[in-house]
Amino acid sequence: MADTQKTATLTLDGKTFDLPIYSPTVGPDVIDIRKLYGQAGVFTYDPGFTSTAACDSAITFIDGDEGVLLHRGYTIGELAEKSHFLEVCYLLLYGALPTAKEMEDFEALVTRHTMVHEQMHKFFTGFRRDAHPMAIMVGVVGAMSAFYHDSIDIADAHQREVATIRLLAKMPTIAAMAYKYTIGQPMVYPRNDLDYASNFLHMCFSVPAEEYVVNPILARAMDRIFTLHADHEQNASTSTVRLASSSGANPFACIAAGIACLWGPAHGGANQACLEMLREIGTVDRIPEYIARAKDKNDPFRLMGFGHRVYKNFDPRATVMKQSADEVLELLGVDNNPTLQVAKELEKQALADPYFHDKKLFPNVDFYSGIILEAMGFPTAMFTPIFALSRTVGWISQWKEMIEDPAMKIGRPRQLYTGATERPYVNVEDR
């Protein structure tokens, strides 16, 4: 916790209460209200926690007004351009960029733990073939606690570390297995000779009947998608993981809770919604009609993938993701894919329209990641599982930070009660 040298004064019914103010390394000051109820007998009211800091953290910082996203002090643009996903994982988990030897050891450790317990394969046959991959992932990840008993004691530092590596290593395998199951193809085992992103693509798209060679451009684009979604401060799913963790739940259950929260269309389904919008537009000649609708205040339609709830200026992840999207589309082409044709033309027309510039409605990371995943051949149902795969390291980092904080307390939000006051029970025959 940062030091405090300032206080805020609350006046209530003629009484004053001094509240400490903490100053972070970056960002707005924070008023400490932990003792407010005990001293003044009142709660604060903040639905959605839009003005409430629920924890102190040294992992990720976002300044939405300025379009800044930092992981341990490094800008997301520089990390996505110069680094790779597993190096960013190391940074998020341990607080510093690894040395060459540390990176080599970490990569080897993750690679050696990508296989899942063989009996877990049977779990998949319990799901319908048309089950959503996210439904499968919630169940299978939660079930990991039934298989890996030696890494569920959160009070044991070694077990926490084992759980960390297992989750990071096995999540691509589980996501790929969920995908293969839903399309009726045989599941593919991971390969230790491939890097993290290439291994995921191999498990998703290879088949026993022929050799599959991972294209390095696609692998790099996949790695960037993982990197750009690795952590995003105290969002809904991360807060869910922290809240579940505060009860002492095992790490696999906590990550399963995060996956369940991410499944919501207001959170992890944004790039899927973007692709569904592009398919609704259908053809390039209809783009002006939909742009006009987006400008019409009386029309509920809005362009998905443009603007961002957090970033009021521009999404700092979008610049790098656009570069990858351009590379992938140049490699795979858009001539035979009407959805991608619409995406490229919509991007062009929207960026040239002063309305979108004035409103700062620029294409965000969901717009470009949706284009990339569509071009690679992933169905939209797999977009959110890939997001969950990417975000796992952020959830684990936040979980570890919380568990290792000696001041950790179980989460217990208060409420503004608006129900009935106490009343007598009436027997059923007298009602």
End-to-end CA distance of the chain: 56
Question: How many residues comprise the chain?
Answer: 431
Is 231 an active-site residue? no
338: burial class by Cβ within 10 Å (0-12, 13-18, 19+)? middle
Give every strand in the sheet of 60-63, ordered side by side.
60-63, 68-71, 74-75
Longest CA span, the chain = 80
CA distance 55 to 242: 9
CA distance 287 to 128: 38
- CA angle, 272 then 277 then 278, to 5°: 100
CA distance 165 to 147: 15
CB 342 within 8 A of CB 367: no
Token pair 């992840």 is at which residue? Answer: 317
Catalytic member of 195, 223, 231, 366? 366
CA distance 53 to 83: 30
| CB neighbours of residue 236 within 10 Å | 17
**Which SS3 state, helix, strand or coil, does residue 371 take?**
helix
Tell which residue, 385, 96, 69, has the closest CA to residue 226: 385
Catalytic member of 56, 308, 358, 430? 308
Q: Percent helix, strand, coil in the chain (nearest 5)? A: 55, 5, 40
Amino acid at 410: I
Q: Pinpoint the alpha helices (H) of 153-246.
A: 157-183, 196-205, 216-228, 236-246
CB 291 within 8 A of CB 351: no
Residue 389 CA from chain centroid, whole number: 8
| CB neighbours of residue 26 within 10 Å | 11
Is 366 an active-site residue? yes
Tell which residue, 405, 398, 333, 340, has the closest CA to residue 371: 340
CB 145 within 8 A of CB 253: yes
Residues serving a catalytic function are 308, 366
